[in-house]
Amino acid sequence: MQVEGAVDGVYVSFESFPGVHLALERLDPQQGTLHPELRAVQEVDLGDGVTVERATVFVPQGKLTHFLDRITQYVETADAARPRNRELVDRVQAVRAASIEALWTDPPAEFPEPGQLFWWEAWLRWRDGNEVSRFRTFASATGLRTGSRGLGFGDRTVLLVEATVDQLASAVDVLDDLAELRRPHDPTQFLAETDAIEQAAWIDDLADRLEPADPEAPTVCVIDSGVYQEHPLLQASLPREDCHAADPSWPVYDDRGHGTEMAGLALYGDLGQALASPQLLRLRHRLESVKLLPPLPQQNAPDLYGAVTAAGTSRAEVQAPDRRRVYSLAVTAPVATSTNGAAAPAASGQPSSWSASLDALAAGRSVLANEDGLVFLDDADHAAKRLFIVSAGNVRSWYPGDEHLDRSDLEPVEDPAQAWNVLTIGAYTEMDTMTGAAADFAGWTPWAPRGELSPFSRTSVAFSRVWPIKPDVVLEGGNVARSPDGTTFDTPANLQLLTTNAPLGTTRLLTTIHATSAATSQAAALSASVMAEYPALWPETVRALIVHSAEWTPAMKARFQAEKKKAPRIALRRRYGMGVPDLARATRSATDALTLIAQDTIRPFAEGTMREIHYHDLPWPTGVLADLGEAQVRLRVTLSYFIEPNPGRRGWQRRYSYASHGLRFDLRRATESKAEFQKRINAKALAEDELRATSSNDTGEWFFGPDHQRAPGSLHTDIWFGSAADLAQRGALAVFPVTGWWKENKARDRSDAGARYAMILSIETPDLDADVWTPVAQQINVPLTVTTAT
């Protein structure tokens, strides 16, 4: 066929010698009206570390002599000291007619299989403004489906097209507009505002290559507004019998849309990535739904949220009592104010009836919340402990002149995100470009730089220092765009994530989502993935692994590194948590990054005094570390446990009387004997109200330190930096109890039942050729020593 406006010509592929780069500027002469034009460049891996560069050039009819003349000139002057055109010719190993594969600029291994119907990104070069029209004319004539919206990138326009390799290869023969072909890397920008028919095609494609998890797999229980269970991407992972409502008189369907948006992220993470991949998708977890919000226009009374949440979790557990699950809660309540306008106690981090209910539920208690506090309806059960993933809450408005970090630092996390036992999720963003934004946002700029806190995210910078550090970690929550004059803020689709949509007044089944709600659902998916990988891990341990796997982005790390004192570092941690978690780090040990996990139970008190201290003799790679000498290494320690909240509200003013107990850790010093280590820890454990000596005379350095970092909350993590030789002598760690209401109220002390904890240690030897994993793998059955504090 012939397409009007197309230019006749051929695609030619130039390939370099191994390890040599082509003279690309000489392949793109840009002389005259019609000239050879460089379209695509690939680096091709031939194996064994050998790479060549391959460039695809469109040569208009009659212009091939441009290169033939230069090759002839080179041959004629080959005997000269400097042959003509040697910069061009010397680098070229092979020249051949290019196939469609030559326009593919993604990794060659990802090129679609013959006959596979595939969505492509067709990158069209700008020539006369009619490129998209010509391509759509070709697609219509050949029966191909194209996306309804194109994206402009300077001298390129990107259009989605669904075709097989052979179908698209015919376009190369008739169109000179093609510059590159790629797989769709971010369909969010294309699909967020496209029509329902095109969205349905993408959804059907994913549904056809979807393999749901087994019925026995872990679930993410979405506590929200209900879920649209009939959604094609949710239905196979969410049976009707797993849809519940906290109040049995409520319908279980989603009448607000938020719960369905959360469900998509909780099952897939960023749905855009799942849609873009052509591969079979095997899910590792499933979904449950608990409707927490009543049908509109009803609203729950703020002081009833604790009771409603408890009722909702109970309904899911009655339906499937033995199921492993993660509870995802992205519904928060704004911090209340008193009659004089001052912030309520929760604004400083103090517990509320809702947050205390979550703490009790996480600890394995069934509760009833009333005006006097909590009523425990049963004894705590280790098997009933629960992992709650809770959003930090959102900053909802900004004003001209605002700095987004200042605004986030001033707005405290919302109720119930201050709960001790939950994993609290803030938001950061990697979305820092307006490429692909709708025309309405021309000239707008993203507010937060790449890797920074999202403008939506709240923090605990304003909390009293005696209350927990929140958020614990941050995940992608999108960005905010500012108008050119800086007076208006908005959230275009290109700065958000793609997820499932409940068809409330629309037939479109995909939409976008942002803020800490989106981050929370992704964290829930991550937690369920860890549960699927390691079924024997406790909820306390899964929480610890998520935090332990987190790393600060370069933007965050630069702020931490600029602070030499520990107090400012704590303020930064109250903004960023421990950074961005990663599934690979949470579930794997590499040879240069060893992770040790211990799950144990301690009995903290007896008759108002300290009872037990646990000493862990660690399977340390002593020989490897000693051989590394003064090389700098990093040790990271995370301790996670669930406290029981004091039932009486009058006990919520002080952390020592709110939490049943506290646990702390300490590492043996390089110069200490085992007896000296135990003597020092015994003295620290007996110190009244945690007023104990620090390890300031210790070698190496804790990044946060025991005085500042390890006290608040029920999850403690710190990072030690020092020499490998020093760390080689530190192969023992102690876990010991500190005061709480169990100790102060002997009649209600539940120490005999034991308090579970998870301890995680990792040694990292970055940039060093050292195997720290194998020596530890050879050590098994490392003993735990339990001593009584005296």
What is the pLDDT averaged over residues 37-63? 78
440-444, 640-644, 712-716 — which one is most confidently predicted on average?
A: 640-644
Round the average pLDDT of the chain to a whole number and report it: 84
Q: For the chain, percent helix, then strand, then coil, each to nearest 5?
A: 30, 25, 45
Bridge partners (DSSP) listed for residue 659? 645
pLDDT at 342: 41
Residue of 439 and 583 predicted with greater confidence:
583
**Rounded-to-integer distance, Cα 665 and Cα 663, Å:** 7
Q: What is the pLDDT of residues 719-739, one digit of tens each?
A: 999 888 888 888 899 999 988
Look at residues 418, 330, 414 and name the one whose alpha carbon lies nearest to residue 659: 418
How far is CA 457 from each of CA 329, 474, 480, 617, rounded to the nearest angstrom? 16, 9, 11, 40
**How many CB atoms sit inside 10 A of residue 701's CB?**
11
**Rounded-to-integer distance, Cα 716 and Cα 711, Å:** 8
**Rounded-to-integer distance, Cα 402 and Cα 455, Å:** 10
Distance separating the N- and C-terminal Cα atoms of the chain: 92
Q: Is 578 exposed, middle or buried (0-12, 13-18, 19+ CB in 10 A)?
A: buried
How far is CA 537 from each of CA 385, 580, 616, rounded to the nearest angstrom? 12, 21, 19
Asked whether 150 and 158 are in contact (CB, 8 A), the reply is yes
**Rounded-to-integer distance, Cα 755 and Cα 662, Å:** 10
Q: What is the pLDDT of residues 132-179, one digit of tens each?
A: 888 888 888 888 888 767 776 667 788 888 888 888 877 765 566 777
Asked whether 755 and 661 are in contact (CB, 8 A), the reply is yes
**Rounded-to-integer distance, Cα 429 and Cα 519, Å:** 10
Q: What are phi and psi of 2, to 5 degrees?
A: -125, 130
Look at residues 314, 300, 303 and name the one whose alpha carbon lies nearest to residue 369: 303
Place of tokens 């004003």: 399
pLDDT at 339 over 50: no
Please spell the DSSP secondary structure of 596-646, one letter per residue. EEEEEEE--EETTEE-EEEEEE----HHHHHHHTT-EEEEEEEEE--PPBP
What is the pLDDT averaged over residues 609-634? 85
Place of tokens 């970092």: 709
pLDDT at 430 over 60: yes
CA 716 from centroid of its chain's CA atoms: 20
Provide the phi-psi class of 401: left if phi over 0, else alpha when psi is between -120 and 50, else beta.
left
H or E segment to which residue 498 belongs = strand 497-500
* 99 contact partners, CB below 8 Å, separation of at least 6: 13, 169, 172
How far is CA 281 from each of CA 284, 442, 521, 557, rounded to the nearest angstrom? 10, 37, 19, 34
Q: What are phi and psi of 596, to 5 degrees?
A: -115, 135
Residue of 389 and 370 predicted with greater confidence:
389
Kindly report which listed range (564-578, 684-698, 699-713, 769-783) carries the lowest average pLDDT score: 684-698
Look at residues 496, 452, 459, 458 and name the one whose alpha carbon lies nearest to residue 478: 496
Provide the edge-to-edge strand list for the sheet that holds 423-428.
243-245, 286-291, 219-224, 325-329, 387-391, 423-428, 473-476
Q: At 157, is the secondary structure helix, strand, or coil?
A: strand
Q: Which tokens sit at 88?
A: 């061009």
pLDDT at 347: 63
* 216 contact partners, CB below 8 Å, separation of at least 6: none
pLDDT at 694: 44
Q: At 719, is the secondary structure helix, strand, or coil?
A: strand
Cis before 471? omega within 30? yes
How far is CA 591 from each of CA 106, 616, 618, 623, 638, rounded to the nearest angstrom? 30, 22, 17, 15, 20
Look at residues 257, 383, 254, 384 and name the one whose alpha carbon lies nearest to residue 313: 384
pLDDT at 425 over 70: yes
* 442 contact partners, CB below 8 Å, separation of at least 6: none
Asked whether 684 and 725 are in contact (CB, 8 A), the reply is no
pLDDT at 446 over 80: yes
pLDDT at 59 over 50: yes
**Rounded-to-integer distance, Cα 692 and Cα 463, Å:** 23
Q: What is the pLDDT of residues 281-337, one digit of tens each?
A: 999 999 999 999 999 888 887 778 888 999 999 999 999 999 999 999 999 987 654
Asked whether 581 and 523 are in contact (CB, 8 A), the reply is yes
Q: What is the pLDDT of residues 667-680, one digit of tens each?
A: 999 889 889 998 88
pTM of the model: 0.82
Asked whether 358 and 390 are in contact (CB, 8 A), the reply is yes
pLDDT at 766 over 60: yes
H or E segment to which residue 547 belongs = helix 539-548
pLDDT at 22 over 90: no
